[in-house]
């Protein structure tokens, strides 16, 4: 676990787990554009626009070039989005964002590019019929010649919205009502591009970025920070420089859980990683970033309703979510008081749409009904193996993790009745993003 936890710490550069290297291109002449050399973002560039596509690959734009993902060389933008140049001949993108509009599947996950007074809509790198349009046709009340744009889903903003930046003015566009409210955030640097990543919002300016609150524009923490330390792989930059993702054979988890929104959390030592849909990558954070009261790691974790339960020693911490977890008043409480058990907990999990938490202690599994008051053990059965590190229950059954391997059972009933150990499976990159 110590090796894996240290490796997670080294992996806190986003470049390590999201995006594929771009392809090299002839730098002499391409589509009529002469280039002495491809630009190098590690030299410190101010991006024109940043946006993820519908697959989660993040694109960084500068002049007629783009970078796909967090590492790799530049390529010409018109090789991925040819109409931006063929139709408009602008040579650069003013702003871009990926639409979040779950109520309208015809619009959801489309990428919008803004060039002067025009807007382009792409899906699967194909320009939608009828585009480009005047910005006012699609986004009435939004000015032209924008500096940056970023989506803001309901729950993070008051309603499903898009934030459009021009100078220090922020035009907040309500996707449903098409109403626009304008605020002036003079304390925030003038953003030349913006990005939403894992419910966090980043304003890029120069070769730096500032994280901000999308509702108030408030900035907490020490900013600006150099983008090369976080959003790209550059020599002599980042938390550990050119570090590598952990090998799957080195993985040893302390706990794992999936919450009601489908986000999966892996815990190892003082670090955790969150996996949404793989579109946004896998990235390591200190546990205190999300659960500030729990500093040095956890023994077990499980999710129930809209809450996440963290078990550390003989204490239970309950956090209410889902967007930003906050400790429920009165916690932590003892294991005995909260769950009716005592002793070290190795793993815990709740299956979807069930109210029973299955708690593994040594070579036994104890069931506790979460709807009962007081909570007591309702069933105790032996396990066919001991030394379990973590457990997870989902639509495909139960996974029990032990070192870099896991054992799969069809259901809690199958686990309870099993007396023969199933064949161990190796943790793979498909399971949690490690390196095979």
Domain ranges of the chain: 21-229, 248-432
Which has more pLDDT, 183 or 306? 183
Q: What is the pTM of this model?
A: 0.67
User: pLDDT at position 150, please?
Assistant: 98
- Please, which residues have CB within 8 angstroms of residue 222's CB and are 6 or more apart in sequence? none
CATH for 248-432, options being 3.40.50.300, 3.20.20.10, 2.110.10.10, 2.30.30.30: 2.110.10.10
Which has more pLDDT, 39 or 2? 39
**Tokens (6 digits) for 96:** 């871009």
> pLDDT > 90: what percent of the chain?
57
User: pLDDT at position 372, please?
Assistant: 94
User: pLDDT at position 240, please?
Assistant: 38
Q: Any idea which architecture 21-229 has in CATH? A: 4 Propeller (2.110)
**CA-to-CA distance for 207 and 19, rounded, in angstroms?**
20
Could you read off the pLDDT of 47-104 as tens digits, one per residue? 999 999 888 889 999 998 999 988 889 988 888 887 776 654 556 899 999 998 767 7
pLDDT value at 155 more than 70: yes
User: pLDDT at position 244, please?
Assistant: 53
Confidence band for 419, pLDDT divided at 50, 70 and 90: confident
Nearest to 70 by CA among 248, 192, 197, 191: 197
pLDDT value at 24 more than 50: no
Which of these ranges, 145-149, 174-178, 292-296, 414-418, has the smallest mean pLDDT?
Answer: 414-418
pLDDT value at 396 more than 60: yes
Partner residues linked to 157 by β-bridges: 154
Which has more pLDDT, 433 or 106? 106
User: pLDDT at position 365, please?
Assistant: 94
Confidence band for 34, pLDDT divided at 50, 70 and 90: very low
Confidence band for 5, pLDDT divided at 50, 70 and 90: very low
Could you read off the pLDDT of 359-387 as tens digits, one per residue? 999 999 999 999 999 999 999 999 888 89
**CA-to-CA distance for 332 and 309, rounded, in angstroms?**
10
pLDDT value at 15 more than 80: no
User: pLDDT at position 33, please?
Assistant: 43
**CA-to-CA distance for 79 and 84, rounded, in angstroms?**
10
Work out whether the CA dihedral 10, 15, 19, 23 comes out positive or negative.
negative
Which has more pLDDT, 19 or 113? 113
Fold agreement between 21-229 and 248-432: yes
User: Average pLDDT, stretch 155-179?
Assistant: 95
**CA-to-CA distance for 306 and 328, rounded, in angstroms?**
12
Mind spelling out the 3-state secondary structure of the chain?
CHHHHHHHHHCCCHHHCCCCCCCCCCCCEECCEECCCCCCHHHCCCCCEEEECCCCCEEEEECCEEEECCCCCCEEHHHCCCHHHHCCCCCCCCEEEECCCCCCCCCCCCEEEEECCEEEEEECCEECCCCCEEHHHHCCCCCCCCCEEEEECECCECCCEEEEEECCEEEEEECCCCCEEEEECCCCCCCCEEEEECCEEEEEECCEEEEECCCCCCCCCCCCEEHHHCCCCCCCCCCCCCCCCCEHHHCCCCEEEECCCCCEEEEECCEEEEECCCCCCCEEEEHHHHCCCCCCCCCEEEEECCEEEEEECCEEEEEECCCCCEECCCCCEEHHHHHCCCCCCCEEEECCCCCEEEEEECCEEEEEECCCCCCCEEEEEECCCCCCCEEEEECCEEEEEECCEEEEECCHHHHHHCCCCCCCEECCHHHHCCEC
User: pLDDT at position 285, please?
Assistant: 78
pLDDT mean across residues, the chain: 84
pLDDT value at 130 more than 70: yes
């Amino acid at each position: 676990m110590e090796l894996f936890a240290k490796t997670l710490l080294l992996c806190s550069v986003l470049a390590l787990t999201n995006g594929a290297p771009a392809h090299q291109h002839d730098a002499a002449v391409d589509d009529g554009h002469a280039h002495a050399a491809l630009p190098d973002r590690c030299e410190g560039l101010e991006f024109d626009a940043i946006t993820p596509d519908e697959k989660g690959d993040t694109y960084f734009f500068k002049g007629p070039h783009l970078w796909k993902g967090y590492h790799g060389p530049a390529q010409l933008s018109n090789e991925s989005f040819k109409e931006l140049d063929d139709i408009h001949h602008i040579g650069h993108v003013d702003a871009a964002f990926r639409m979040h509009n779950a109520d309208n599947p015809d619009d959801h996950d489309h990428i919008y590019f803004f060039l002067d007074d025009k807007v382009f809509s792409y899906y699967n790198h194909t320009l939608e019929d009828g585009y480009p349009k005047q910005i006012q046709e699609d986004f009435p009340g939004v000015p032209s010649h924008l500096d940056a744009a970023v989506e803001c889903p309901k729950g993070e903003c008051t309603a499903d919205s898009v934030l459009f930046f021009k100078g220090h003015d922020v035009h907040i566009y309500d996707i449903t009502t098409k109403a626009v409210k304008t605020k002036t955030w003079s304390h925030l640097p003038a953003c030349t591009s913006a990005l939403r990543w894992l419910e966090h919002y980043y304003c890029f300016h120069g070769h730096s970025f500032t994280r901000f609150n999308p509702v108030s524009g408030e900035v907490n923490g020490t900013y600006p920070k150099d983008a090369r330390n976080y959003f790209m792989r550059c020599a002599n930059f980042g938390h550990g420089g050119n570090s590598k993702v952990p090998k799957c054979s080195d993985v040893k988890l302390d706990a794992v859980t999936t919450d009601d929104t489908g986000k999966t959390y892996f815990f190892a030592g003082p670090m955790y990683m969150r996996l949404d849909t793989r579109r946004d990558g896998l990235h390591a954070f200190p546990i205190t970033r999300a659960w500030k009261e729990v500093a040095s790691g956890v023994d077990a974790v499980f999710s129930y309703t809209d809450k996440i339960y963290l078990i550390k020693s003989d204490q239970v911490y309950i956090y209410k979510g889902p967007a930003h977890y906050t400790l429920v008043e009165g916690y932590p409480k003892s294991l005995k008081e909260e769950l009716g058990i005592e002793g070290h907990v190795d793993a815990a999990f709740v299956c979807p749409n069930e109210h029973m938490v299955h708690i593994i202690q040594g070579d036994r599994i104890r069931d506790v009904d979460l709807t009962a008051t007081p909570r007591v053990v309702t069933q105790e059965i032996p396990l066919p193996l001991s030394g379990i590190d973590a457990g997870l229950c989902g639509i495909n059954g139960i996974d029990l993790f032990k070192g870099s391997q896991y054992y799969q059972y069809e259901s809690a009933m199958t686990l309870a009745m099993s007396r023969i150990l199933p064949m161990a499976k190796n943790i793979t990159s498909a399971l949690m993003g490690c390196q095979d």
